[in-house]
Structure 1
Amino acid sequence: MSVVNLSPALKSLLEAALCEHYSAPVSIQRVTPLEGGLTNRCLRIDDSQGGRFVWRPRSQVSDAFAISRSREAAAQSLAATYQLASVPVCQLSEGLLVPWLEGESLDPHSAESQAILIDLLVRIHSMEGRLDTQDVRTQCQHYEQQLTLAKQQTLKQLRDRRQWQLPTDPLAPVVCHMDLGSYNAVIQPNGEPCVLDWEYARLGSACLDIALFCRANGYTPAQVVSDYCALRCIEGSAPVRQAVEAWLPFADYLALCWYEVGATLYGLSTYQEQAQRLYRQLAGMDES
């Protein structure tokens, strides 16, 4: 695994934050890139106290994906009060430092993991706190602006042809994670689940978040909504399921724009392939 050299100024800032965290002298011993994470390009930091942390930088890439580290820090701090996340160590203008979490990943295809993930989704939606809001159309527009004019025109033609209408939600706005997949949750050594990666969290539509959750984990609304409503003591799941199904095209279009931005930034064929698949699906060229 390659080793990363932090700038002296950033290294000094992070060591000062860690000294305050430990209330003891500490130095950064090793910095290595984490695998995956297109939008984050995060780094793992090992220190002289034996601790491990994750540095989540602000960068041109995070700006392209409309990621605010201060918004992320607020969301994760809120989740930490509900024992759903770790408490951030510090938030700087350069990025966010959070604890490294040991644990086992979840298998989205197992019934046990599905139950855990739905319970986590309900717990997130039950949190009370003040977070920023952002309309899904605004987020899509930001992504579109990162693309070439030709690509923007192609997407506009798709929107004009499909003419999607925003659904009417039967549920009040809630705190949404917006990316709750099995890849963003771990079972800690104490047996408790913990949620990672709060960079897209905001106050928004519960039904959109359920739609994104279904897509992220390969679930259908029928698999999720009944259990979700039961856990939230919502009588009558049919209106919720209908709203979630109506949000699916918006969830897919948001993912399409996200993959297009990723392909533009990094030229990764896998992201371009995903974007093409979603485009065909939304254009009605595929049955899926």
Structure 2
Amino acid sequence: MAIFSWSEAKLLDTSLSSLDGYFSDPPIRAQTLTGGLTNRCWKLVLVDGTEYVWRPITPITKAFFISRHEEYQVLSAIERLGIGPSPIVVNDLGLLVEWIAGDTLYEGLELDDLLKTLISVHLVNTKRLPLQPFCFTARVDHYWLQLDAIHKTETCTQIYQEWRIPPSIPSVDLSLCHFDLGGYNLVRSHEGIKVIDWEYAALADPRLDLTLTISAARVSVTEAVQTYCQLRGIHDVQPWLKGVEAWLPRSRMMAMLWYLLAHQLWGDEIYLDEAEVLCRTFCS
């Protein structure tokens, strides 16, 4: 992570200039953050030690269907619950949120703690959350239509076409879903575990969110679903287990398209490698 003066940072990222009217005194330093895949964000430090994260709007965020204004709405809705960073200000160039100090939980996170955190997201009252319900087909079509011919191999095309429609399963109430809840987006702070990077959050089937979390954690589907239901007080596990199993190939296809698009945009071979790994899961 490189550290710059405020004036230097604004030359590198002109969106930072939109904050000049917000700060009475400019930050004393700005630091690039490299942890996120989609977000190329900045950590800003004020003279009094207060720390923020600037999450800009870029062609990359637009390519991945990310809205900083919706992210601001989500963070505002959950602020009083203390499970995520507080939103500070949003404008046409990005979103400023508080910096959560602590240790990122890449390893050593118990399954119970992971699922309890996920449940705390799913139990958020969504009545006053001005979000449109997540449309799976629209999202994967959005990714697919941006891919060039090189990335639309015959195998990838077949996988996309086969799995682009949501599963026909008994419905459950829509929940606030994070859609990227893994240890890499959890921080153990002095107030407990906090969830960061809410840019993909949406109102959706919580079983899809659970599927994505299970895949990221690389744990047993049956064990994770049973534990989730037990922790949430759900007695009829079968609709949840069948739902996760139905979403599993679709979530893998969506992730495959995400990595293909990431490779197209950034050219980093690691994204293509991840897409090919997911592609092979269908072939096997």
Equivalent residues of 1:256, 1:274 under 8 A apart: yes
Please give the secondary structure, in 1, of the residue aligned with 2:65: coil
- Distance in 2, matches of 1:107 and 1:185, equals 8
Aligned ranges for residues 77-88 of structure 1 at < 5 Å?
77-88=76-87
Q: Match of 2:186, as an amino acid?
A: A
Moved more, 226-235 or 91-100: 226-235
- CA 1:11–1:239: 2 relative to 1, 3 Å: closer
> Are 1:206 and 2:206 an aligned pair?
yes
- Distance in 2, matches of 1:132 and 1:267, equals 32
Please give the secondary structure, in 1, of the residue aligned with 2:253: helix
- Distance in 2, matches of 1:181 and 1:151, equals 27
1:22 — aligned with what? none
Q: How big is the alpha-carbon RMSD for the aligned residues of Structure 1 and Structure 2?
A: 2.1
- Distance in 2, matches of 1:36 and 1:79, equals 23
Please give the secondary structure, in 2, of the residue aligned with 1:119: helix
- Distance in 1, matches of 2:163 and 2:116, equals 34
Please give the per-residue CA displacement for 1:221-260, whole angstroms capped at 9, x wherever unaligned. Answer: 2121112112222112122111101110011011101100
- CA 1:145–1:84: 2 relative to 1, 3 Å: same
Shift of 1:174: 0.8
- CA 1:210–1:276: 2 relative to 1, 3 Å: same
1:119 — aligned with what? 116
- CA 1:28–1:208: 2 relative to 1, 3 Å: same
Structure 2-normalised TM-score? 0.90
Q: Match of 1:185, as an amino acid?
A: L
The gaps in structure 2 that reach 5 residues or longer are: none
Equivalent residues of 1:58, 1:93 under 8 A apart: yes
Please give the per-residue CA displacement for 1:256-286, whole angstroms capped at 9, x wherever unaligned. Answer: 011001100111111110011111112x23x
Equivalent residues of 1:53, 1:99 under 8 A apart: yes
In percent, how many aligned pairs have the same letter?
29
2:27 — aligned with what? 28
Q: Match of 1:63, as an amino acid?
A: K
- CA 1:51–1:249: 2 relative to 1, 3 Å: same
Q: Match of 1:114, as an amino acid?
A: L
Equivalent residues of 2:163, 2:249 under 8 A apart: no
- CA 1:9–1:261: 2 relative to 1, 3 Å: closer
2:94 — aligned with what? 95
Please give the secondary structure, in 2, of the residue aligned with 1:152: coil
Q: Match of 1:88, as an amino acid?
A: P
Q: Match of 1:50, as an amino acid?
A: G
> Are 1:6 and 2:10 an aligned pair?
yes
2:61 — aligned with what? 62
2:136 — aligned with what? 136
Structure 1-normalised TM-score? 0.88
- Distance in 1, matches of 2:165 and 2:74, equals 30
Moved more, 235-244 or 117-126: 235-244
- Distance in 2, matches of 1:15 and 1:142, equals 34
- CA 1:76–1:13: 2 relative to 1, 3 Å: same
- Distance in 2, matches of 1:114 and 1:158, equals 30
Q: Match of 1:71, as an amino acid?
A: E
1:250 — aligned with what? 250
Please give the secondary structure, in 2, of the residue aligned with 1:16: coil
Instruction: Give aligned pairs, total.
Output: 275
Shift of 1:164: 6.5
Please give the secondary structure, in 1, of the residue aligned with 2:230: helix
- Distance in 2, matches of 1:28 and 1:195, equals 25
The gaps in structure 1 that reach 5 residues or longer are: 19-24
Equivalent residues of 2:208, 2:244 under 8 A apart: yes
Q: Match of 2:9, as an amino acid?
A: N
- CA 1:10–1:254: 2 relative to 1, 3 Å: closer
Equivalent residues of 1:71, 1:132 under 8 A apart: no
